[in-house]
Amino acid sequence: MELVLNILKIILSIICVFAVLASKLKLSNWWIRVFDFPRIQLLIMATLAVALYVFPYLSFEALNITGFLLVVFSWFYQARKIFPYTLMAKKEVKKDKKASPENEIGILVSNVLTPNRHVEKLINLVKKEKPNLVLTLESDKWWEDQLQVIEKDYKYQVKIPLDNLYGMHLYSNLELENTKVHYLVEDDIPSIHSSVILPSGKAIQIHCIHPEPPSPTESDTSLSRDAELLIVGENVKDPGLPTLVFGDLNDVAWSRTTRLFQKISGLLDPRKGRGFFNTYNAKYFPFRWPLDHIFHTEDFLLREIKRLPSISSDHFPIYIKLKLKPENDQDDKKEALEEDEKDWKEETIDKANPNILTI
């Protein structure tokens, strides 16, 4: 039994330490970037490793102490990354309990999983939550046909049915203006950009995205995803209108790319201080992290945010309701980029050879 525990301790220690090293490497290889995702799981692994070092007692041999200290460091490293998304952290977006329907917008984002055939589950959620915008991702022609039943309530639509797992459909019961579909980096991965007119007559800008993830089955590197996020961040950093960016970003909130995206754009994350809202993987509880995001400018207050029940996809849907702040209640908290951040941003976009830089 002692031998088994020692082997487990060594394996966990190697994984924990390598995960920290991988996070520090500015490489885009999928097998490096994959360690950005499971920071919650890595924290649990580090906790277990620490317990194995001290149970039944801590050996003071140099190798054992070195391993113990490295694992403790990895524990604090992972904890620091995910702490902003715990209930103990400061909330980045204030909540407002007072309703103002003419200046509110509700958004439901759902990666439906193309072969999933339980469309009725999504339709029931739409009927229950009554969002103003419904964004479906991975939706093909079959999903488009099945969702025709909601079109009577959502007369503004943007339909991009694709069979490559990057189809996208936007349904709105609010008027859409100046709608554009772009293929920012990859020729077969679309994004939707539009203005939404609230009942009060005020306009807000929306950007719906679903970049390609780094994985052995999708892309060998994170280059395409990183470039798309950074291009969108660059384009919304000085918005003329209140702005929302949402979709399946195929990235976690605590990754270097998403943190840089927030820093460039100045957009806020309403999950900070409220929880992880893990939307993926809906099918396997031990392997969950937040992939579906809704970022916004400082023009908004939070009315409600929640992860919705499963629709038999590998993603849970997520729902948010936001309210425009009074025009005299705006702040400017945008941080300046460090030189190495500017260099990495420019190098990433240049290497990706994007189709479009201005959206």
DSSP string, 239-281: -SS-EEEEEE-SS-TTSHHHHHHHHHH--B-TTTTT-----B-
Contact 197, 174 (CB under 8 A): yes
Looking at residue 325, the DSSP 8-state letter turns out to be: P
Q: What is the predicted pLDDT for the residue at 60?
A: 64
Which structure tokens are listed for 187? 């020729």
The CA-to-CA distance between both ends of the chain, in Å, stands at: 60
Q: What is the predicted pLDDT for the residue at 4?
A: 86
> Using CA atoms, how far apart are residues 268 and 295, in angstroms rounded to an integer?
6
Contact 145, 244 (CB under 8 A): no
Measuring CA to CA, how many Å separate 296 from each of 72, 90, 177, 204? 35, 17, 19, 10
> Using CA atoms, how far apart are residues 320 and 322, in angstroms rounded to an integer?
7
Dihedral sign for Cα atoms in the order 93, 281, 16, 222: negative
Contact 233, 261 (CB under 8 A): yes
Measuring CA to CA, how many Å separate 269 from each of 55, 69, 203, 273? 40, 33, 21, 10
* Residues in Cβ contact with 272 at an 8 Å cutoff, skipping those fewer than 6 apart: 84, 85, 89, 90, 91, 92, 93
Q: What is the predicted pLDDT for the residue at 336?
A: 83
- The CA angle 120-158-194, to the nearest 5 degrees, is 125
> Using CA atoms, how far apart are residues 230 and 67, in angstroms rounded to an integer?
37
Contact 13, 65 (CB under 8 A): no
Mean pLDDT by 10 residues, the chain (359 residues): 84 96 90 95 96 77 87 98 97 96 98 98 98 98 98 98 98 98 98 98 98 92 97 95 98 96 97 98 96 98 98 98 80 77 94 94
Q: What is the predicted pLDDT for the residue at 107?
A: 98
Contact 321, 294 (CB under 8 A): no
Could you give the dihedral angle defined by the CA atoms of residues 296, 298, 299 and 304, in that order, rounded to the nearest 10 degrees?
A: 60
Q: Please state the pTM of the whole predicted model.
A: 0.94
> Using CA atoms, how far apart are residues 282 and 279, in angstroms rounded to an integer?
7
> Using CA atoms, how far apart are residues 213 and 151, in angstroms rounded to an integer?
30
User: Per the omega criterion (within 30 degrees of 0), is the bond before 56 cis?
Assistant: yes
> Using CA atoms, how far apart are residues 152 and 138, in angstroms rounded to an integer?
22
Q: Where are the alpha helices (DSSP H) in the chain?
A: 2-24, 30-33, 39-54, 62-82, 119-129, 141-146, 223-235, 256-265, 339-352
H or E segment and range at residue 219: none
